[in-house]
Amino acid sequence: MAIEGLGQGPLDYAVCTYGASRLRCRGPRRHLDGGDYVAVLGGIETFGRFIEQPYPDLLEVALGMKCVNLGVPHTGLDAWLADETFLDICAGARVTVIAVPGAHMLRNRFYTLHTRRNDRVVRQTEFLERVYPDLDLSQNFFVRHLLADLAAKSERRFALIRTELQSLWISRMNQLCARIGGDVVLVWLGERSPDAGGNLPDDGDPPLVTREMLRALRGRIKATIEVIDASDTREAALEAKVFAPHEAEAAQRVPGPLAHARVAESLARVLRSQLDLKGPAGPRLQRRSA
């Protein structure tokens, strides 16, 4: 089965769905009876496009516990919050791992997005047109392209949009964690540290997210691991990825096998030290001292 926007390629991603969900994630489909599993929620980095063994698979081997890959390309907070099946899977897990999403793929006063493909702009609002009356935005169908054009035209006006998106990100991340109800471990997998940049859409992934925003998350965030994947050359960016010739440009833009291995290793270390793998299903992580 092909997944929307990915097309066919050398890898079989065994794309699957769960329950009533219309979100297609990487398979194989897992049986979730008993709740003895780790849920891993994320976008294309968790899905592992061009990667034979994405980090949820590696984590499963390291922990000896089922890890359910809920990575769906082109999705973000809005798609996850609207999907009751995904939320229930996470709520039933012993712990949920969330790959930190960008703040750009959120509905707001300036534009609306596709309900499942959160990278697609469905409509630009009259409010945006009033803020940017001197810019023709009719051909901006993808949110990151739209934001790049807005920032290039006027950083001062773009600051209005950035402030709203960053505020919404904090609110909806807290909402997501509250809906899950259990313990959450965050994965920062991007091209930069959360301490560097984050003010412009082209600063690097995850777009428009900063350290201050991570600190503003409440309650159930038990740990955050950070892996920076910044390849110096095109050859390094493509190393050990599996892709067709026409997919090379897209393959450059996603984390590689080494980054996935580092994420899995760090996650396994955190979960192994805090999760009672021998206890009954459903125990919570121990609180970490500040």
What is the amino acid identity at position 232? D
Percent helix, strand, coil in the chain, to 5, is 35, 15, 50
pTM: 0.90
In a domain, 287, yes or no: no
In a domain, 202, yes or no: yes
In the predicted model, is pLDDT for residue 280 greater than 60?
Answer: no
Total domains present in the chain: 1
Whether omega before 280 lies within 30 degrees of 0, making that bond cis, reads no
In a domain, 174, yes or no: yes
What is the amino acid identity at position 226? E
Which pLDDT score is estimated for 92?
95
Which pLDDT score is estimated for 229?
85
Residue of 30, 181, 25, 20 whose CA lies nearest to 94: 181
246 DSSP assignment: G
In a domain, 12, yes or no: no
In a domain, 225, yes or no: yes
Q: In this structure, what CATH number is given to the domain that contains residue 143?
A: 3.40.50
* Helices 155-180 + 143-153 axis angle, to 10: 140
pLDDT tier, 63 (very low <50, low <70, confident <90, very high otherwise): very high
What is the amino acid identity at position 132? Y
Q: At 95, phi and psi to the nearest 5?
A: -160, 150
Range of the domain at 140: 37-274
In a domain, 31, yes or no: no
In a domain, 5, yes or no: no
pLDDT tier, 170 (very low <50, low <70, confident <90, very high otherwise): very high
In a domain, 177, yes or no: yes
Q: Which residues, 6 or more positions from 191, have their beta carbon under 8 angstroms from its beta carbon? A: 204, 205, 228, 229, 230
| Cβ proximity of 24 and 1 under 8 Å | yes
Mean pLDDT of 99-127: 95
Alpha carbons 1 and 14: distance in angstroms, whole number: 7
| Cβ proximity of 86 and 176 under 8 Å | no
